[in-house]
């Protein structure tokens, strides 16, 4: 399988490099505002914005296409040296790219404003919660955008597949004259640079308005204006990425890399670095997966002739896989870490239960084989092995016995148990068996400080409610 993977990847060309770079730049540009949306608990707003701007983008694209055709018909032949012609061509291309993005942004901004107004009206008139009103508006406007594409697709080079899946596979062919650099890479790189500079310059303001809006207002910083500016930047980023990578990747990259990074760290500065990095890794691995996985998987399940997949779609899938991996394996709060902590707690409780049993047996001077009395669970087996290895118990011919070190630990456990029984008996009218059952669970979580507080409140008791001696403090 590895050999097949390397063979499929051996066909990597310069075109693939530009596809991966463009996708990575777009993903990183989206991840920066997406991180702030996540922290402000406005992830759905970013998703809605990426859908709601579609009608405005389509209308702006149609109008711009009409203007470009008019300009092309009235254009004159450029005369001069080769260098002058190339320089004028590059300058003209840059001007067209800037004009194109400006027009698209204006259309998206108008569409976003309309979506915001409609959301507010539906929320007030329909008496719906904001999330429901937002869901109605952005799905309706996205459908309207797709309908406009179907109605007027013949008047411009735009179709529904391009809107949904982007145009990454052909983006390397649309280059800036005289440079060989794809326009999509330039636009998304400029957007990434702008977003990065804005984060650096306004980091304090964004942090304050995000985590403590009331404090920001008290210091003269309008949190509402910060929110509006963030929405504007998000809209501009969506417009920059929309044409090259499509709606699916924009939606994925706005939130998923930030959510993945949030699982890995609690530090804001590191979060702002990790989110774009995860987005870039997801984009590159997505293109690699689009070139290799469809052929490798489909050939094994009998589907011949399927050699690749949508790069933008695969990038979104790969980013989702990275998120799933972070959910499972992140060292702070992943499923694996949670399972490990739970298993370790079960072993610790089983170990302390064994020590407590041996201590109580010594009090009663009974000589049964304690190995037979222990519950036959994996945790009890591991607990006994660890106690033997650490020298806290020793195995005799008939029974396990406490060592001096083990007896001190067991004494502390039994003291916690009987202090808690005494505390419960004083404050609650409970039968003795319920006192014991509760103390069996609580004894594992009483540290020395809490033991001292319980003993002080109970006036340093020496006998528990069952008439058994409460062990003294272990020195």
* Shared-domain flag, residues 352 and 252: no
The domain boundary residue, chosen from 301, 331, 361: 331
pLDDT tens for residues 180-198? 788 888 888 989 999 999 9
Answer yes or no: are the C-beta atoms of 329 and 336 closer than 8 Å: yes
Long-range contacts at 226-231 (CB < 8 A, ≥ 24 apart):
227/40, 230/33, 230/36, 230/37, 230/40, 230/206, 231/45, 231/49, 231/112
Helix axes 223-264, 268-298, angle to 10 degrees: 60
Number of domains in the chain: 2
pLDDT at 84: 42
CA 34 to chain centre: 11
Distance (Å, whole) CA 380 – CA 180: 68
pLDDT tens for residues 208-230? 888 888 888 888 888 778 877 88
* Shared-domain flag, residues 321 and 344: no
CA 211 to chain centre: 18
* Shared-domain flag, residues 278 and 362: no
The answer as to whether 84 is a domain residue is no
Q: Which residues contact 355 (CB under 8 A, 6 or more apart)?
A: 387, 392, 393, 402, 406, 409, 410, 413
Distance (Å, whole) CA 350 – CA 384: 8
pLDDT at 280: 94
Q: Of the candidates 334, 336, 346, which has an alpha carbon nearest to the alpha carbon of residue 386?
A: 346
- Give the other-Cβ count within 10 Å of 469's Cβ: 12
pLDDT at 210: 87
* Shared-domain flag, residues 346 and 251: no
* Shared-domain flag, residues 369 and 283: no
pLDDT tens for residues 435-451? 888 888 899 988 888 98
Structure tokens given for 474: 């272990």
Q: Angle 455-461-466 (CA atoms, 0-180°, nearest 5)? A: 120
DSSP string, 28-76: HHHHHHHHHHHHTT-HHHHHHHHHHTHHHHHHHHHHHHHHHHHHHHH--
Percent of the chain predicted with pLDDT > 90 = 14
Distance (Å, whole) CA 104 – CA 98: 10
CATH code, 250: 1.10.3470.10
Q: Of the candidates 400, 419, 395, which has an alpha carbon nearest to the alpha carbon of residue 361?
A: 400
* Shared-domain flag, residues 235 and 381: no
Q: Which residue would you say has higher pLDDT here, 472 or 84?
A: 472
The answer as to whether 472 is a domain residue is no
pLDDT at 246: 72
pLDDT band at 79 (very low <50, low <70, confident <90, very high): very low
Answer yes or no: are the C-beta atoms of 327 and 334 closer than 8 Å: yes
Q: Is the pLDDT of residue 177 over 70?
A: no
Please tell me the pTM assigned to this model.
0.72
The domain boundary residue, chosen from 282, 313, 331: 331
* Shared-domain flag, residues 270 and 180: yes
The answer as to whether 230 is a domain residue is yes
* Shared-domain flag, residues 353 and 371: yes
The answer as to whether 402 is a domain residue is yes
Answer yes or no: are the C-beta atoms of 472 and 465 closer than 8 Å: no
The domain boundary residue, chosen from 331, 355, 370: 331
CATH code, 343: 1.10.10.10
Distance (Å, whole) CA 119 – CA 326: 34
- SS3 of 290-340: the string is HHHHHHHHHCCCCCCCCCCCCHHHHHHHHHHHHHHHHHHHCCCCCHHHHHH
pLDDT tens for residues 81-127? 434 433 444 455 556 666 666 777 777 778 877 877 787 788 777 77
Residue 320's alpha-carbon distances to 80, 148, 256, 257, 323, in angstroms, are: 52, 30, 7, 8, 5
Answer yes or no: are the C-beta atoms of 216 and 208 closer than 8 Å: yes
Phi then psi for residue 11, to 5 deg, are -85, 10
The answer as to whether 462 is a domain residue is no
Answer yes or no: are the C-beta atoms of 388 and 370 closer than 8 Å: no
pLDDT at 94: 58
* Shared-domain flag, residues 44 and 153: yes
Answer yes or no: are the C-beta atoms of 388 and 349 closer than 8 Å: no
pLDDT at 12: 84
The answer as to whether 82 is a domain residue is no
pLDDT band at 321 (very low <50, low <70, confident <90, very high): very high
Helix, coil or strand: residue 158: coil
The answer as to whether 76 is a domain residue is no
DSSP string, 122-142: HHHHS---HHHHHHHHHHHHH
Answer yes or no: are the C-beta atoms of 146 and 129 closer than 8 Å: no
* Shared-domain flag, residues 297 and 188: yes
Q: Is the pLDDT of residue 35 over 60?
A: yes
The answer as to whether 383 is a domain residue is yes
* Shared-domain flag, residues 37 and 173: yes
* Shared-domain flag, residues 50 and 105: yes
Q: Is the pLDDT of residue 258 over 90?
A: yes
pLDDT at 186: 86
Distance (Å, whole) CA 470 – CA 173: 83
Q: Angle 205-271-281 (CA atoms, 0-180°, nearest 5)? A: 130
CA 230 to chain centre: 20
Distance (Å, whole) CA 39 – CA 260: 13
Residue 314's alpha-carbon distances to 4, 163, 243, in angstroms, are: 19, 16, 17
Q: Which residues contact 279 (CB under 8 A, 6 or more apart)?
A: 24, 27, 28, 30, 31, 253, 257, 319
- Residue 214 exposed, middle or buried by CB count within 10 Å (0-12, 13-18, 19+): exposed
- Domain holding 428, by residue range, is 339-457
pLDDT tens for residues 125-157? 777 777 788 788 878 888 888 788 777 765 555
Q: Is the pLDDT of residue 176 over 80?
A: no
């Amino acid at each position: 399988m590895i050999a097949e993977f390397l063979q499929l990847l051996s066909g990597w060309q310069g075109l693939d490099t530009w596809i991966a770079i463009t996708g990575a730049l777009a993903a990183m540009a989206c991840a920066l505002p997406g991180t702030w949306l996540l922290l402000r608990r406005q992830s759905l707003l970013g998703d809605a914005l990426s859908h709601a701007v579609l009608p405005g983008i389509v209308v702006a694209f149609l109008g711009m296409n009409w203007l470009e055709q008019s300009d092309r018909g009235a254009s004159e032949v450029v005369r001069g040296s080769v260098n002058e012609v190339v320089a004028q061509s590059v300058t003209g291309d840059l001007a067209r790219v800037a004009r194109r993005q400006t027009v698209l942004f204006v259309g998206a901004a108008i569409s976003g404003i309309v979506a915001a107004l409609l959301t507010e009206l539906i929320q007030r008139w329909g008496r719906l919660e904001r999330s429901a009103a937002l869901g109605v508006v952005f799905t309706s406007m996205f459908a309207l955008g797709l309908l406009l594409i179907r109605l007027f697709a013949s008047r411009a080079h735009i179709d529904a597949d391009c809107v949904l899946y982007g145009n990454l596979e052909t983006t390397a062919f649309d280059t800036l004259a005289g440079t060989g650099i794809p326009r999509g890479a330039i636009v998304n790189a400029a957007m990434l640079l702008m977003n990065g500079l804005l984060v650096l310059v306004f980091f304090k303001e964004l942090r304050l308005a995000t985590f403590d809006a009331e404090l920001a207002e008290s210091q003269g910083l309008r949190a509402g204006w910060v929110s509006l500016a963030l929405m504007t930047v998000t809209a501009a980023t969506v417009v920059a990425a929309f044409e090259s990578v499509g709606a699916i990747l924009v939606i994925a990259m706005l939130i998923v890399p930030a959510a993945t990074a949030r699982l890995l760290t609690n530090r804001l500065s590191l979060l702002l670095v990790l989110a774009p990095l995860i987005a870039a890794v997801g984009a590159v691995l997505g293109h690699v997966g689009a070139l290799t996985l469809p052929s490798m998987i489909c050939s094994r399940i009998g589907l011949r002739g399927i050699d690749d997949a949508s790069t933008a779609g695969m990038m979104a899938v790969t980013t989702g896989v990275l998120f799933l991996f972070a959910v499972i394996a992140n060292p702070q709060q992943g499923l694996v870490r949670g399972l490990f902590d739970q298993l370790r707690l079960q072993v610790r409780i089983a170990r302390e239960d064994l020590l407590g049993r041996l201590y109580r047996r010594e009090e009663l001077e009974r000589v049964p084989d304690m190995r037979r009395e222990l519950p036959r669970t994996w945790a009890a087996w591991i607990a006994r092995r660890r106690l033997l290895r650490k020298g806290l118990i020793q195995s005799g011919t008939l029974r396990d016995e406490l060592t001096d070190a083990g007896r001190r630990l067991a004494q502390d456990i039994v003291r916690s148990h009987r202090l808690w029984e005494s505390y419960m008996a004083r404050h609650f009218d409970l039968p003795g068996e319920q006192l014991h059952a509760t103390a069996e669970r609580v004894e594992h979580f009483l540290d020395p400080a809490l033991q001292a507080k319980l003993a002080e409140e109970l006036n340093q008791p020496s006998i528990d409610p069952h008439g058994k001696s409460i062990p003294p403090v272990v020195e």
